[in-house]
Structure 1
Amino acid sequence: MTNYFDENKDIAELVRLYEETLRGESFRYFDVFDYVDIAEYYLTTMQESKAENVISEALVQHPDAIELKYKQAEMYVLKGKTQKALNLIKELEQTSDDAEFHLLRGTIFTATGKYEEANSAFLMAIERDDENREELLFRIGLAFQHVFEFSLALQYHYKLYEESPNDLNNLFEVAYCYEQLERLDNSILFYNKYLDISPYSHKVWYNLGIIYNRLQRYEDAVEAYDYTLAIRPKHSKAYFNKGNALFYLGKYKEALTCYLKYLNYDDNHSLTNTYIAECYERLGEYESAVLHYNKALSIDPKLSDAWFGLGMVAKLQGNIYEAIQHMEKAAKTDGTFSECYIELGELYTLINEDTLAINAYRYAIIASPDALHNHIELAKFYHKKNNIQEAREVLEAVKKDFKEEAELFYYLSLFALLEDDLVEAKRYLKQAKSIDNGQFDELVNYCRRNEPLVSKGKIDDLLKLHE
C-alpha cells in the first residue's frame, strides 16, 4: 500500500501557496481537490483546527462539492460530533452511492457503536470499488481500531493479509491488533513476518521488545532492543526498556548503564532515578542508592516507590526506626501500596509493636485483597507469635477465594498439624498436592527456618504425611 504523501509530492508546495494566500502575500484559485488535499495534509499532521477552517472556506466557494462534504463529515467524527456527521450523511443519501460515501457511513456507525450497520456499509463500499479493495480493507481496519474494536479490525486486516501478504503497513496492523487482543504469540509471528521483508524497522523491533518483556522473555527483549538501538541509536525508550529487561535478568550493572543513558533524554526522570537507585541497592552500593532515591523525590516528593526504596535501604543497613519513617511516608503517599504495609508489619514486629504490625498486615489485605501473599504474611505473623489458632483462622477465612492456590493449603496443613488436627492436616495436604506437588519443599524450608516454632518432630510428621 502506497503512502498518501508518496503519491502527492507537491502537497507541501500546495499548502505553502495556500498559507501565502491566507496571509495576503499572493492569490491563487484552489479547486475542490486542492482543498481536499490541503485539509488531508493538516489532518495527517495533527492540525485539525486548520483542516476544519480549510473545509469551511472551501464550502463557501464550492457549496455543492460532494468531496468537501465527505471531508466535513469525517471531521465531525474526529471532533466527536457524530450526530452532525449522521445528519450530513442523511442529506447526502439522495445523491451519493459511491465507495467513499459508504466508507464514511461505516466510519460514522463505528463511532456510534453500531457495528452491524458499520459492517454492512463497509461491505457496500467494497462492492462499489473492487479495484481499490486492498486500500478499503486497510482503511476499514483502521476505522475499527480507532474505536478500540480490535477483533473487528483484525478481520479486515487479516483479509488483506491473505490477499496481499507482503503489505508492510498491513502486517504491522495485524501484529498490533493481535498485541492489543493479548494474543502475543500471534503478534510476534506477524512482527517477524514484517522483519523478514524489512529487517531495519526500529519501530517493529521496539514493539517486539515490549511483547517479550510482557512475556518475561527478557533475553529476547534485550536482543530486540539491541536491534532497535543499532538501527536508531537515539531511541530513548529502548534504553529505558532494555534496562528493565536487564534488571529482571539480575544484570544490575548492565541495567544501570541503560538507565544512566536514558537520563540524557527529556523526561522528568523521577522513576528513572528510582530504578537507578534500586540497581545500586541490589549491588549493595547503598550510598549511591540513597542519592538517587532522593533525586527522584526532589522531582516528585509523592513518589511512593522512592520512599519505599529508602525504607528498604535503611532496613538493609539495620536502621529500623529510619526504615519505619520512610515506609510510613510511602504508605501516606499511596494508601494502595500493599507491599509497603507488609514491610511495615515486619518492621513493627522487629521493635515489638505487635498491634501496629497486625494493623499494617490488615491494611495490606484491604489494599490488595486478591493477593494471597498478604493473607499468608498475616498468618505467618500469628505463627511466629505462637498463636496457631489465629494463623489458621486467617487462612480458613479465605480458602474459598483461593481454592486453586496450593500455597494456601500447604500452610493450612502445617497449622492444622501444629494443632494436632491430623485429619484436617492430611486433607489440606492432599488438596495442596493435587494442585501443585512441587511447592511442598518450600513449606518444609519455611518450617526449618522457623525452628523451634516448628519442632524437628513436627517436620518429621509433615514429611510422613507427604509420603
Structure 2
Amino acid sequence: MALDANEYPEKSISKFESMLKTDDVYFFDAEDFEEIIHHYLNNGKISLGKKAIQIGLEQHPNSLELKLLRVEVLVFEDKYEEAGKILDKLQNIDANNEEIYIQRANIQSKQDNHQEAINLLLEALHLTDDSFDIHSLLGMEYLFIDDFEKAKRSFMRCLEFDETDYSSLYNVVYCFEFLEDFDGAIHYLNDYLQRNPYCEVAWHQLGKLYNTKELYKEAITAFDFAIISDDSFIGAYFEKGKVLEKLGKYNEAIENYETTISIEDPTSHAYLRMGKCHEKLGNNDLAKYYYYNTVHEDPLLDKGWLAITDFYYKLENYDKALYYVNKAINIDGENPLYWKKSAKIYFALNNFDEADFAYKQAVDLGNYELDTWENWADTLRKLGDFSSAAHVLIQGIEFYPENAALLYKLAGVYLKNDKILNAKEKLSEAMQLDIQKLQIFEDEFPEFNNIKWLKTLVCEIKKTST
C-alpha cells in the first residue's frame, strides 16, 4: 500500500530515494509522485524531479497531473515546442483543465508575449474557483506590461484568498507607489491592519509611506507597532532610525541601529548610518570608527567610501580624502561617483590636470549631473584651456538646455576666446531665460562687466521683459 503523500511526504521522499540507490522498484500512488516531484522542483533539484516524473509516468501513464508536471519542467528548460505538443494532447482529453491554460500562459510569458499570457490566464480563471495562483500570475504579467492598476487589483485578490501572503502585500504597495497614490496605499494598509493588527510587514510598509509623506510622527508610531508585533524585525528598527535622523534625534537613531546589529550580524548600512549620526553629533573619532567598519564589512559599498572621503574633505584634510577615494577607485574603477569625488579633491589641491582627467572619467562612465559640467568647465578655465571649457559647457547644455548658469559660463568662455558674436548670442539666451542670474557672469568674469555692448544688451533684455 502506498503512503499518503499529504500526511507523510518525507516518508515518500525517503522511500523514493532508497529505491534509486537499489535495484528494487517500489510502487507509489500518483499523488505520492506529485508530492515527491513538487519537493524536488521547489528545492531546485531538477534532475531528481525529472527522474521522479519519468518513473511516475511509467507507473501511471494516464496521469494528467504527472504529464502537466512534465510540461512544467519542459517550459522551465525552454522546450516550448515539446511542451506545446503535450498540452495539445491533454486539452483533447480535458479541455476544462485550468492548469493547461496556466502552462500555455507560462510559455507565452517566457517568450515575452505577455498580453497573450494574460488572455490565457483569464480563460483559466473561468474554469476554477480556486484561483489564488492565477491571480498571482496575472499580477506579474500586468507588471510586465506596466499596467500597475490591474496588477494592484490582482494582488489584492490574492490577499482576499490569503491575508498572510506578504509577497502579494509588498506588490500591492509597490503598485500604489509606482502610481504615486501614497494616500491610497496608506488607506489600504490601515484597512488591512484593522483585520491584521499584528502584521509587522504591514506596519513596516505603512511607516515607510508616512516617511515618504514626511509624516514623521506617524511613521515612528507605525515602526513602533511593527516592533511590538515582532521585536526582532530589523527593518523596522532601521527605518525608525532613519526617521529619527531626519528629526535630528541622532542618539535615539544610534540606539535603533545598535539594536539591528545586536539581533543579527552587523551590516555595512547600519555602520554607515551610525557613522553619519556620530559625525552630526561631532563625535569624529566614533564617526571614523563606524565608517572604517562600513568599508571593511562591504568594500564594494560606494556610499561607505564616499562617506569616509567626505568626512576628511569637510575637515579639509584633502590628502586623506584623496587616499580613500583612490582606494575606492582601485576597488571599482567603473564607479563614476568615485571619479567625480576624486576630481573635487584634486581641484581643492590645485591639481587641475588630474581634476580634468577625473571629470572626464566620471562623464565617460555616465555621470551627467549639472554640477559635473559646471565644475569640469571651471577646472579647464583654471588650466587656461578655454576652448575645451566651451566644449564641456556645450555638452552640458545638451543635457540642461534651460539652465541659464551654463549659458552665462559659456558666454564668458567665448569672450575669453575672443568669440564676441557667440558670446552675445549666449548672453542673450541666458538673460531671456533668467536675467537674475546675470550675477553669475559678473562674479566669474568681472573683467568684462564694463563692456559697452554688454550694458546695452542688458538694457534691451530688461526692456523686453517688462
TM-score clears 0.5:
yes
Q: Could you tell me whether the CA contact under 8 Å between 1:218 and 1:245 is conserved in 2? A: no
The equivalences for 1:282-297 within 5 A come to: 282-297=280-295
Match of 1:15 among 9, 17, 27: 9
Amino acid at match of 2:431: L
Alpha-carbon distance change, 154 to 111 in structure 1, aligned in 2, over 3 angstroms: farther
Match of 1:430 among 429, 432, 438: 432
The equivalences for 1:48-87 within 5 A come to: 52=50, 54-78=52-76, 80-87=78-85
Amino acid at match of 1:139: I
The equivalences for 1:98-177 within 5 A come to: 98-100=96-98, 101-129=100-128, 132=129, 135-136=130-131, 138-142=133-137, 145=140, 149=144, 151=146, 155=150, 158=153, 168=163, 173=168, 176=171
Alpha-carbon distance change, 283 to 110 in structure 1, aligned in 2, over 3 angstroms: same
Q: Aligned residue for 1:6?
A: none
1:67, distance to aligned residue in structure 2 (A): 1.9
Q: Secondary structure at the match of 2:401?
A: coil
Alpha-carbon distance change, 97 to 156 in structure 1, aligned in 2, over 3 angstroms: farther
CA separation in 2, counterparts of 1:156 and 1:355?
A: 53
1:304, distance to aligned residue in structure 2 (A): 4.5
Q: Secondary structure at the match of 2:7?
A: helix
Amino acid at match of 1:425: L
Q: Could you tell me whether the CA contact under 8 Å between 1:348 and 1:354 is conserved in 2? A: yes
Identity of aligned residues (%): 22
Q: Secondary structure at the match of 1:97?
A: coil
1:231, distance to aligned residue in structure 2 (A): 1.4
1:182, distance to aligned residue in structure 2 (A): 2.2
Q: Secondary structure at the match of 1:70?
A: helix
Deviates more, 1:152-161 or 1:295-304: 152-161
Amino acid at match of 2:393: L
1:139, distance to aligned residue in structure 2 (A): 1.4
CA separation in 1, counterparts of 2:122 and 2:341?
A: 59
Do structure 1's residue 362 and structure 2's residue 360 form an aligned pair?
A: yes
1:383, distance to aligned residue in structure 2 (A): 6.2
Q: Could you tell me whether the CA contact under 8 Å between 2:408 and 2:441 is conserved in 1? A: no
1:321, distance to aligned residue in structure 2 (A): 1.9
CA separation in 1, counterparts of 2:159 and 2:254?
A: 44
Match of 1:185 among 181, 184, 195: 181
Q: Could you tell me whether the CA contact under 8 Å between 2:132 and 2:158 is conserved in 1? A: no
Amino acid at match of 2:289: L
Alpha-carbon distance change, 368 to 249 in structure 1, aligned in 2, over 3 angstroms: farther
1:428, distance to aligned residue in structure 2 (A): 0.7
Q: Could you tell me whether the CA contact under 8 Å between 2:105 and 2:117 is conserved in 1? A: yes
Alpha-carbon distance change, 20 to 431 in structure 1, aligned in 2, over 3 angstroms: same
CA separation in 1, counterparts of 2:287 and 2:309?
A: 11
1:64, distance to aligned residue in structure 2 (A): 0.9
Q: Could you tell me whether the CA contact under 8 Å between 2:278 and 2:284 is conserved in 1? A: yes
Task: Write the deviation string for residues 379-438 of structure 1: whole angstroms up to 9, x where unpaired.
Answer: 3445678988875653234313212446545655787899996774353132247xxxxx
Q: Secondary structure at the match of 2:92?
A: coil
Q: Secondary structure at the match of 1:93?
A: helix
Q: Could you tell me whether the CA contact under 8 Å between 1:161 and 1:167 is conserved in 2? A: no
Amino acid at match of 2:430: Y
CA separation in 1, counterparts of 2:360 and 2:134?
A: 53
1:300, distance to aligned residue in structure 2 (A): 4.2
Deviates more, 1:91-100 or 1:202-211: 202-211
Q: Could you tell me whether the CA contact under 8 Å between 1:205 and 1:227 is conserved in 2? A: yes
Amino acid at match of 2:125: I
1:15, distance to aligned residue in structure 2 (A): 1.0
Q: Could you tell me whether the CA contact under 8 Å between 1:141 and 1:152 is conserved in 2? A: no
CA separation in 2, counterparts of 1:79 and 1:315?
A: 53
CA separation in 1, counterparts of 2:169 and 2:235?
A: 23
Amino acid at match of 2:253: A
Q: Could you tell me whether the CA contact under 8 Å between 2:189 and 2:202 is conserved in 1? A: yes
Q: Could you tell me whether the CA contact under 8 Å between 1:138 and 1:157 is conserved in 2? A: no
1:117, distance to aligned residue in structure 2 (A): 4.0
1:68, distance to aligned residue in structure 2 (A): 1.8
Q: Aligned residue for 2:270?
A: 272
Task: Write the deviation string for residues 124-147 of structure 1: whole angstroms up to 9, x where unpaired.
Answer: 333444xx1xx3375144256279
Alpha-carbon distance change, 367 to 209 in structure 1, aligned in 2, over 3 angstroms: farther
Amino acid at match of 2:171: Y
Q: Secondary structure at the match of 2:397?
A: coil
Task: Write the deviation string for residues 135-169 of structure 1: whole angstroms up to 9, x where unpaired.
Answer: 33751442562796264686376368689979747
If the length of structure 2 is used for normalisation, what is the TM-score? 0.74
Q: Secondary structure at the match of 1:399?
A: helix
Match of 2:261 among 242, 260, 263: 263
CA separation in 2, counterparts of 1:283 and 1:81?
A: 61
Count, aligned residues: 440
1:185, distance to aligned residue in structure 2 (A): 1.6
CA separation in 2, counterparts of 1:379 and 1:266?
A: 47
Q: Secondary structure at the match of 2:430?
A: helix
Q: Secondary structure at the match of 1:400?
A: helix
Alpha-carbon distance change, 157 to 323 in structure 1, aligned in 2, over 3 angstroms: closer
Alpha-carbon distance change, 172 to 244 in structure 1, aligned in 2, over 3 angstroms: same
CA separation in 1, counterparts of 2:126 and 2:305?
A: 62
Q: Could you tell me whether the CA contact under 8 Å between 1:379 and 1:392 is conserved in 2? A: yes
The root-mean-square deviation of aligned C-alpha atoms, in Å, is 4.6
5+ residue gaps, structure 1, are 1-9, 434-439
